[in-house]
Structure 1
Amino acid sequence: MDLFVECPDDKDYYVLNPDASRKYFTNQKIATRGNVEPFKKKKDKNTMRIFVLGESTTIGYPYFHNGSFHRWLQYRLTHTFPDRNFDVINLSLTAVNSYTTYGFARELIDYEPDAVLIYTGHNEYYGALGVGSTEQISGIPQLVDLILYLRQFRLVQLLTNGYETIRRSIGGEEPSAGGTRMKLMVADQQIPYQSMLYKQGVEQFRRNMDRTLQLLAKRAIPVFVSNLVSNEKDLKPFVSFPAETGNLLPFNKTYNLGLTALTRGNLPLAYSYFNAANRLDSSHALCTYYLGRTAYLQGNLGQAKRYFSRAKDLDGLRFRAPDVLNTIIRQLCQQYKNTHFVDTKALFESHSVNSIIGDELILEHVHPDLKGYALLSDAFYNALKQAKLITLQDGQEMSLAQLLRDMPITKVDSLAGLYKVANLKRNWPFNEAMSAQSFAVESVEEKLAYSLVKQQLSWSDALSDLYDFYMRSRALSKARQVVETLVLEYSTDVRYYEKAAMLSGELNDRETAIFYFKKAFALAPTFDKARHLFVLYLQLDRPSEALPYLNYASQNNQSQFDLGSVKATTEQIISLKQRYLIDSTNVSLLNQIANAYYRMDNAKGASKYIQKVLRIDAANKEALSMVAYLNSNRWEGRTR
């Protein structure tokens, strides 16, 4: 049950142990699995290694793969710092909580982390070992720790497996996907605000997070802990508790009058009734929510925000973390010098209508949509910058807007996420009625997404079929998006980098082609990749960057190409350009550079410097002669 095991495909790499979570689950059939993201046993000097800890939001439900915030972060870091390597290894799992956060942190500290990112708290009650979970062992934290310790031993694992076999033979319920897993994890559907069980959950979170941060502080590992976001404006509480016996009848009468007035659109009267009912019983979650709703609809936004937040805290079904957990997170971040507070909630509010988080960014109760996951990555990215773990030197930063535009998330992944949420909402505790026309399944992307959700296709097979469809349709940009998705998923597989580079070349996107060829070359240097790189750099008039790859190609030349003359000409261009920086009006230098590119059959390079000549001297004979030649049929027949 070690956290990491040797990668089956390459002994030089580790991956997350697929059985790592089994320690935290009594019902082994419910135990969840995480990502497979290989990282080197010995970290390279040029690599920044980041581990990510959390639960279903942190692993990217319902999109997973590139929908997860850590993939948004990895893509942005890699494209902002193309000459650095980033291991962003997500150790998050669904249906777990702070016990797993602490347990995993104890092991990851020995694997050269440069930073640890944490987003956890929503599963504190119903995640594995949560105080309201079917997987709860004991209300005594020390006893839980002891059992977790014992589960490392094979004898205890044998007894656990034996118990599971007996339970299944008796006819125990088998877990399944979607809402059923949520229901299977919940033992106590009603946990009142400030009840003993509620307080146990709060203290469990405080204790485990404190231990986690203390552990990382002892190793001086930078930690970034985010506060939590959830749908407050557009999700009614699941469970409200009835008023006390003495107030029950008057409360119900007043509350129902409020509902009637709200249905009729009489907001002032509805607010008046809900306010009166709230005075009779201020612990009723739905009444508090409707106070927020009527206040919101009347434009009393500050008041609405307070009511929505309190309604979430009063909700007896604790699938959304209470606000006190965010208070604990902030307090603990102030306590440890190496720990940085990440204010994701403020960022979400700034991108929400009237600064109250709702359906605009949250799909159901706690899981963000794709823009929400991008924002979560942005919050951590800016925290890394503020802590100076990443430093911009040339100002070539990928902005959030650019990230939202370029992030490779296929339509199949996007649709599959929406289909999963639709399935989730049909089940308990949402129980939403869904019509047959809720979503269409007609296009190729829709059919593949539907097959993926129904587990009729694996994710890799679905993307392979999507790629083939785009290539047959000559939709090269979409085909490249699929390949870029696979690059992030299989970050050590050089084939996908090469394919992304070649498609970029076909799209005449030389910068992106260079990016992927460089990554491919770093993983597995070859003559062909070096040749592609020096040609691309020379086409972009960047001879200094071409030279290292020319040198490699020359030393490993198994072709018929005469690279000696190319190298000599490249060195000549570098020298001429250095002189031109000192004397920028020297027409002779410009003509020499143009001639050098012309000898390489580099039409773009030659034309660039000819134009520079003609802007200084429009009648320059040498330049005009070369223009005529470049435009002639004779040049068209040459290799460019």
Structure 2
Amino acid sequence: LKGADDYYNAAKKFEQQGDIQKAKENYTLARDYDCIRFRASSDINKIIVSLANKYQAHLVPTLDLFNANSPNGIVGDNLMIEHLHPNIAGEFLLSESFYKGIVQSKIISPEVNTETVQSYKNFKKTYGYSELDSLIGNHRITNLKYHWPYRDETKEYIDYREIYKPKGKIDSLAFIVMAQQKISLTEAHEYLAEMYRKTGDYLNAYLEYNSLTKMNPYWSLYFRKAGDCLLKMSDLPEALKFYERSTEYGDESFYAHFRAGEICMIKNDFENAIVHFQKAQLNAKKDEKEKTLIKIYQALTYLNRSEDGKVIAAYFKNKSIPVPPRANTLKDYIPLQVKNKVTEAQKLIDAKDYGKATGLLLESLNIKETPVVNRILGELYYRNKDYEKSQQFLGKAYPEFKFDTQFLCSYFMADLAANKLDDAKNTLDQLKKTDPTFPGIIQYQAILKNFNPNNRNLGMEVNR
């Protein structure tokens, strides 16, 4: 009678010979005959499928997705820590399989909110762990595999912690945390975050602070410092999230609210800007108080609420308070991670090489999904008369650009071109709310009223 070892060795031999089908069959038998029954064997999986069919339950085929994302369809170290637990990539793939299962089952909603859809790869990049965490994890796993059942310790005992030689500063720090425990993981992240910040490496500093927010989710300081790094990287939407999270956990400082208010002003979200500036005033010194009053006055002016600003004008003894022309500038802030690709794509757009520009922008989404790139892609797809994709990408950009009148014009036209009249009406309502004096509103109302679905070549140049 063959045992698990026999099937495993046979599988390795078949794999080396290139006979992948027989290799998979023998790897499966090795799992099924493993006397340590941590994993579901083939017979158990068959029972699960049978019960799902019998009771019409929604089966999530995680194994199929794992196989599809593994070399030769054989799951190994690419997705697993050892014989049982998924690694980081495996955990995110597992969550993706359940997400897809929920979407396909429609048990929550028949429709997917396209504005919030992100790939699991993007979640993985922004989740909140850094190189330090990965190295510590690798050391712990390697140390684990120096013991039974991975090694026969009765023949030779080797202490990984005594023989490993760290490679570089971060690895040394990771090894000290794991093996010697001279400093805590929090202290190690803090050390690296400050080291990166002082050298102007704001991306890696942000990764350390973001890790700290996951480890200490009620410590507002880490959220604020992460927001500072993101601001330096021109990632305003993400920075705003971190500043606002810092205020949720007791950071009612002038600084956090003022920064959040400034970002809201750039987004033209004047209502929320006023809220933040008013809260900033509660802990403001005299010069800071005057700064916030000027900002509130400007926001009230943009909202056509000059009457509410009279008290502020009186505070300054009716001296002239500067109110710059309202502008849509959020699109000018390109996050550091994708800046080079977006800048090159913009040059290609200027040269009317729209195909290459689209390719570069799609590549940037694999680095980091950003609202500004979704916006540019939506406008490019509209130009190329791919109206469904245009509306899809503009829809993803909408939450960050819904106070940008130029964006709303583009989105309105894309809604119409995609024959989504209800969406077009909602977008037009948002435009009216954002700027009731916008000169193109009457024209857009006429276009919507007289819209002919057989003539969708509307252009985007209507009194913007």
TM bucket, shorter chain? 0.5 to 0.7
CA distance, structure 2, for counterparts of residue 607 and residue 353 of structure 1: 41
Offset, 1:354: 1.6
Per the alignment, residue 131 of structure 2 pairs with: 411
Q: Match for residue 519 of structure 1? A: 245
C-alpha offsets along residues 226-252 of structure 1, whole Å, 9 cap, x if unaligned? xxxxxxxxxxxxxxxxxxxxxxxxxxx
Stretches of structure 2 that go unaligned for 5 or more consecutive residues are 306-320, 334-405, 407-464
Relative to structure 1, is the Cα distance of residues 476 and 556 closer, same or farther in structure 2, using a 3 angstrom cutoff?
Answer: closer
SS of alignment partner, residue 324 of structure 2: helix
Residue 530, structure 1, aligned to residue 248, structure 2? no
Q: Of 120, 131, 148, which aligns to 1:428?
A: 148
Rounded Cα–Cα distance in structure 2 between residues aligned with 1:321 and 1:367: 13
Q: Distance in 2 between matches of 1:507 and 1:394?
A: 26
Structure 1 counterpart SS, 2:145: helix
- Residue 96 of structure 2 corresponds to 378
Query: Once the 2 structures are TM-superposed, how far is the Cα of residue 525 of structure 1 from its aligned partner?
Result: 6.5
Aligned to 1:441: 166
Query: Partner of 1:206 in structure 2?
Result: none
Distance 1:557 1:333, change over 3 A: farther
RMSD: 3.8
Q: Report if aligned partners of 1:501, 1:512 keep a CA contact under 8 Å in 2.
A: yes
Q: What aligned pairs does 1:28-39 form with structure 2 within 5 A after superposition? A: none
Could you report, residue by residue, the CA deviation over 1:350-381 in whole angstroms, capped at 9, with x for unpaired residues?
11012121222223322333212221232233
Does residue 490 (structure 1) correspond to residue 208 (structure 2)? The answer is no
Residues in 2 aligned to 1:297 and 1:551: alpha-carbon distance in whole angstroms:
68
Output the TM-score relative to the length of structure 1: 0.42
Deviations 1:23-59 (A, max 9, x none): xxxxxxxxxxxxxxxxxxxxxxxxxxxxxxxxxxxxx
Please state if 1:561 is matched with 2:290. yes
Unaligned runs of 5+ in 1: 1-280, 577-594, 613-640
Once the two structures are superposed, residues 583-635 of structure 1 have per-residue CA deviations (whole angstroms, 9 ceiling, x without a partner) of xxxxxxxxxxxx985279x9958999xxx9xxxxxxxxxxxxxxxxxxxxxxx
2:151 counterpart SS class: coil
SS of structure 2 residue aligned to 1:495: helix
> 1:36-86 CA deviation, whole Å, 9 max, x = no partner?
xxxxxxxxxxxxxxxxxxxxxxxxxxxxxxxxxxxxxxxxxxxxxxxxxxx
* Residues 1:367 and 2:92 aligned together: no
How many pairs were matched up?
308
Give the AA of the match of 2:124: L
Mark the structure with the bigger radius of gyration.
1
Change over 3 Å in CA distance of 1:603–1:311 after alignment to 2: closer
Counterpart position of 2:193: 467
Q: Which residue type is aligned with residue 503 of structure 1?
A: C
- Residue-by-residue CA offset, 1:177-224 (whole Å, 9 max, x unaligned): xxxxxxxxxxxxxxxxxxxxxxxxxxxxxxxxxxxxxxxxxxxxxxxx
Match of 1:303 among 22, 26, 38: 22
SS of 1:511's partner is helix
Identity %: 22
Structure with the bigger percentage of strand: 1
Note closer, same or farther for the CA distance 1:481–1:562 as it changes in structure 2 (3 Å cut): closer
Q: What secondary structure does 2:214 align onto?
A: helix
- Work out whether residues 258 and 277 of structure 2, in 8 Å CA contact, stay in contact via their aligned partners in 1: yes
Q: Against the structure 1 CA distance between its residues 565 and 606, is the aligned structure 2 distance closer, same or farther, given a 3 Å change threshold? A: farther
Alpha-carbon distance, 1:551 to partner = 5.0
Matched, 1:285 2:9: no
Q: Deviation per CA, 1:564-591: give whole Å up to 9, x if none.
A: 5533432333459xxxxxxxxxxxxxxx
* Pairwise CA distance, 1:349: 0.9
Are residue 457 (structure 1) and residue 188 (structure 2) matched?
A: no
Partner of 2:270: 543
Match of 2:299 in 1: 570
**Native 8 Å contact 2:220 2:251 kept in 1:** no
CA distance change for structure 1 residues 555 and 388 in 2, over 3 Å: closer, same or farther?
farther
Taking structure 1 as reference, are residues 336 and 515 closer, same or farther at Cα in structure 2, changes over 3 Å only?
farther
Find the aligned partners of 1:474 and 1:509 in 2 and give their Cα distance.
Answer: 15
Rate the CA distance shift 1:509–1:606 in 2: closer, same or farther, 3 A: closer
Residues 504 and 513 of structure 1 are in contact (CA less than 8 Å); yes or no, is this contact kept in structure 2?
A: yes
TM-score (structure 2 length as normaliser): 0.56
8 A Cα contact 1:412 1:445, kept in partner: yes
Preserved contact between residue 413 and residue 449 of structure 1 (Cα < 8 Å): yes
User: Which amino acid in 1 is paired with 2:210?
Assistant: E
1:10 aligned partner: none
Q: Which amino acid aligns with 2:226?
A: A
- Provide the residue aligned with 1:500 in structure 2: 226
1:48-447 correspondence to structure 2 within 5 Å: 281=1, 283-331=2-50, 340-386=58-104, 387=106, 389=108, 393=113, 395-431=115-151, 440-447=165-172
**Aligned partner of 2:197: which letter?**
M
Q: Secondary structure, in 3 states, of the residue corresponding to 1:598?
A: coil
Shift of 1:539: 2.3
Higher relative contact order (CA 8 A, sep 6+): 1
Matched residue type, 2:228:
M
CA–CA distance in structure 2, aligned partners of residues 573 and 477 of structure 1: 34
Q: Between Structure 1 and Structure 2, which shows a larger proportion of helix residues?
A: 2
d(CA) in 1 for partners of 2:280 and 2:14? 70
